[in-house]
Structure 1
Amino acid sequence: MEKAKISASQLFILMVLFELGSALLVPLAMDAKQDAWLAILLGMIVSFVLLLVYHKIYWYYPDLLPTEYVQKILGKVMGSVLSFLYLLYFMYDASRVLRDFGEMLLTFAYPETPLFIANALLILVIIYTVRKGIEVIARSGELLFIFLYILAIAGFILIVSSGLIDVTNLQPVLEEGLLPVLKVVFTQTLYFPFTEVIVFTMILPYLNNPKKAKVTMLCATGLSGINLVITMLINVSVLGVNLTARSQFPLLSTVQTIQVADFLERLDVFFMLALVIGIFFKISVLFYATVIGTANLFKIKSPSRLSYPLGLVVLFMSITIASNFQEHLHEGLKVVMFVLHIPLFVIIPPLLLLVAFLKNRKKQRG
Structure 2
Amino acid sequence: MKSNGTVTGLQLGALTFIFIFSTTIAFLIGPLVKAASFDGWLCILIGGIVGTAIAVLSIRFALRRPNSNLGEYGRKIVGSPVHTCIMLLTAFFYLHLSAYILREFTDFFVPSYLRQTPTLAVAVLVMSVVVALTQSGISALFRFAQGCFIFIGLFFLLKPLFFVSALDTPIWHEIARVHNWKSLWTQTYTIIPWYGELIMLCYVVPHFTSKQKTSRVLWISSMLGTYILIVEFLLIVLFFGPELAGTLIYPALDLTGFIHFGDFLYNLDALIVSIWFMGFFVKLCAIFAIGTLIFSEALSIKNYQPLTAPLAAVVVAISIVMSRNPEELASFFNSSWSTFALALESLTLLYPLVAWARGIRA
Fold shared by both chains (TM-score > 0.5) = yes
How far has the Cα of 1:291 moved from its partner?
Answer: 2.0
After superposition, residues 109-188 of structure 1 pair within 5 angstroms as 109-160=113-164, 163-165=165-167, 167-173=169-175, 174=177, 176-186=179-189, 188=190
Q: Over aligned residues, Cα RMSD in angstroms?
A: 2.1
* Contact persistence 2:55–2:197 (CA under 8 A): no
Q: Residues of 2 paired with 1:244 and 1:77: CA distance?
A: 48
CA 1:332/1:170 → structure 2, altered by over 3 Å: closer, same or farther?
farther
CA 1:155/1:72 → structure 2, altered by over 3 Å: closer, same or farther?
same
2:355 is the alignment partner of 1:353: no
Query: Which ranges of structure 1 fall in alignment gaps of 5 or more residues?
Result: none
After superposition, residues 71-82 of structure 1 pair within 5 angstroms as 71-82=75-86
- One-letter amino acid matched to 1:320: V
**Counterpart secondary structure, 2:74:** helix
Identity, in percent, stands at 21
**Counterpart secondary structure, 1:147:** helix
2:341 is the alignment partner of 1:341: yes
How far has the Cα of 1:201 moved from its partner?
Answer: 1.5
2:214 paired residue number:
213
After superposition, residues 217-296 of structure 1 pair within 5 angstroms as 217-259=218-260, 261-296=262-297
* Contact persistence 1:15–1:217 (CA under 8 A): yes
Q: Residues of 2 paired with 1:264 and 1:168: CA distance?
A: 31
1:242-292 Cα distance to aligned partner (Å, 9 max, x none): 222222211101111335655432212222112111111111111111222
Q: Which of 56, 60, 67 in structure 1 is aligned with 2:71? A: 67
Q: Residues of 1 paired with 2:242 and 2:40: CA distance?
A: 9
* Contact persistence 1:120–1:315 (CA under 8 A): yes
CA 1:331/1:290 → structure 2, altered by over 3 Å: closer, same or farther?
same
Q: Residues of 2 paired with 1:270 and 1:166: CA distance?
A: 28
Q: Residues of 2 paired with 1:324 and 1:170: CA distance?
A: 36
Q: Which of 100, 106, 121 in structure 2 is aligned with 1:102? A: 106
Task: Give the number of equivalent residue pairs.
Answer: 357
2:322 paired residue number:
321
Q: Which of 24, 36, 42 in structure 2 is aligned with 1:38? A: 42
* Contact persistence 2:86–2:348 (CA under 8 A): no
CA 1:363/1:196 → structure 2, altered by over 3 Å: closer, same or farther?
closer
Q: Normalising to structure 2: TM-score of the pair?
A: 0.91
* Contact persistence 1:6–1:206 (CA under 8 A): yes
Q: Residues of 2 paired with 1:337 and 1:178: CA distance?
A: 19
Q: Normalising to structure 1: TM-score of the pair?
A: 0.90
Range moving further from structure 2, 29-38 or 223-232: 29-38
How far has the Cα of 1:55 moved from its partner?
Answer: 2.2
Range moving further from structure 2, 227-236 or 116-125: 116-125
1:160-190 Cα distance to aligned partner (Å, 9 max, x none): 3xx455633455233524342122112x111
How far has the Cα of 1:345 moved from its partner?
Answer: 2.8
CA 1:239/1:363 → structure 2, altered by over 3 Å: closer, same or farther?
closer
How far has the Cα of 1:27 moved from its partner?
Answer: 3.5
* Contact persistence 1:158–1:260 (CA under 8 A): no
**Counterpart secondary structure, 1:167:** coil
1:55 paired residue number:
59
CA 1:241/1:290 → structure 2, altered by over 3 Å: closer, same or farther?
same
